[in-house]
Amino acid sequence: MQVTRPTGIALAIGALLALLATPAVAVSFDVTNLVTNDQGAHAAQITDAGLVNAWGIAYAPGGPFWVSANGSGTSPIYSVNGATQQTVKQGLTVTIPGEGSVTGQAYNGNASAFNGDLFLFGSEDGTISGWRSGTTAEVLVTASAANNYKGVAVGSTGGNSYLYAANFRAGTIDIVKGTSGAPGLTGNFADPNLPTGYAPFNVQNLGGSVYVSYAKPDAGGNDEIDGPGFGYVDHYDLQGNFLGRVGSGGALNAPWGMAIAPSSFGAWAGKLLVGNFGDGRINVFDQGSGTFLGQVAGANGQALSIDGLWSITPGNGGLAGSADLLYFSAGPEAESNGLFGVLQVAAVPEPGTLVLMAGGLGLIGALARRRQGQGQA
């Protein structure tokens, strides 16, 4: 069957549209600030003056976000609509013991462990505390000059619950038993090949796998030393046994935040995300092979950077936003300000898409000129 000229043009347009409909768009992200302590420093949807140096993030299943505000020694609570990202600060703000130095936090789902405290907190003065009711968390482990807890996580194994605490000053992962009768762990969270001069900076339990990030401490074990290649990430089981190295040097720069990439990350969904506090970039690793896959890009195609980046976590599909999006906390301007926000997908055409578009438009133009010429013959 002979194709008439108008039909040929229509087919060409259809072919172009089909090409443009193929997945030739890179996954890149826009940063949306939901909460700021200072609109003049960083514009956001709402203001919470107490959100200074936003650090750890946790939530109960279906519950809202709890965020550690290191600079004010509190944990404000925010509900986020997963569809619209509309954010509301809840009426309760919990005061955390530890002289305004709260860092990481974790949710405890075992009502018989840790005195029934639902949320557990680590602090830079060595305090570990927990909350189950009221406006102030209770002290579970008293402060000590020997300890500086930068991050915490909760895990259950053998029917018992444990808190893992990254002790940046001592260079250890310290264990707090959920109940006094719980047995000790079989491992000690030790990497036999970790270079000297590094200490645990954070610990996260991601789906039953425990990841520990390492950074360089200063002379007093108070703060990290930033720099390209300054960082490691290890994989352990819930008993603290070393399973392998995930990331070594390279793009790591004082890594702290760790999460499993949600569905919005396309081909990287399910991979391990590691956020750098040092330069604010988010690295992507294949946690099985330890292969570095790249860095999360912004809408301009360059590596996205969030000043003072701390936590990264998907939402929970309830009051803590969308499970398909990645939320973050940060302490920009040398931890003097605070942000809580979300990464939302920005569709940016790849160069190949633009080439296809130009070629398709050229084809349509050629067909149109041919039709015009034949009509004049």
pLDDT of the chain, 377 residues: tens digit per residue = 343 444 444 444 444 444 444 333 358 999 999 999 999 999 999 999 999 999 999 999 999 999 999 999 999 999 999 999 999 999 999 999 988 799 999 999 999 999 999 999 999 999 999 999 999 999 999 999 999 999 999 999 999 999 999 999 999 999 999 999 999 999 999 999 999 999 999 999 999 999 999 999 999 999 999 999 999 999 999 999 999 999 999 999 999 999 999 999 999 999 999 999 999 999 999 999 999 999 999 999 999 999 999 999 999 999 999 999 999 999 999 999 999 999 999 965 544 444 444 444 444 444 445 555 554 44
Q: In what order do the strands lie in the sheet with 119-123?
A: 102-107, 119-123, 128-131, 138-141
- In 181-301, which residue ranges form alpha helices assigned H by DSSP? none
For 16-28, give one letter per residue: b (16+ CB within 10 A) or e.
beeeeeeebebbb
**6 to each of 256, 349, 364, 367, how far by Cα in Å?**
60, 29, 11, 9
Give the distance from CA 89 to its chain's centroid.
21
pLDDT for 21: 41
* DSSP 3-state of 10: helix
Q: H or E segment at 258?
A: strand 255-260
Residue 288 lies in a domain: yes
Please work out, in degrees rounded to the nearest 5, the angle formed at the alpha carbon of residue 107 by the alpha carbons of 103 and 108: 125
Which pLDDT belongs to residue 98?
86
Distance CA 67, CA 174 (A): 22
Q: Measured at the alpha carbon of residue 341, what is the angle toward residues 139 and 316, in degrees to the nearest 5?
A: 70
Q: Is residue 359 part of a domain?
A: no
The reply to whether 4 falls in a domain is no
**pLDDT at residue 99 in the model:** 80
- Does 372 map to a domain? no
The domain that holds 311 is classified in CATH as 2.130.10.10
Is residue 18 in a domain? no
The answer to whether residues 55 and 103 touch, using CB atoms and an 8 Å cutoff, is yes
Amino acid type, 121: F
Helix, strand, coil fractions of the chain, as percent rounded to 5 = 15, 45, 40
Q: Is residue 10 part of a domain?
A: no
Please indicate, yes or no, if residue 355 is contained in any of the structural domains.
no
DSSP 278: T
Write out the H or E segment, with its range, that includes residue 5: helix 5-21
Considering its fold, how many domains does the chain have in total? Answer: 1
Structural domain includes residue 363: no
In this prediction the pTM is: 0.87
What residues make up the domain containing 101? 25-349
Determine how β-strand 25-36 pairs with β-strand 46-47. parallel
- Token pair, residue 79, equals 């509900």
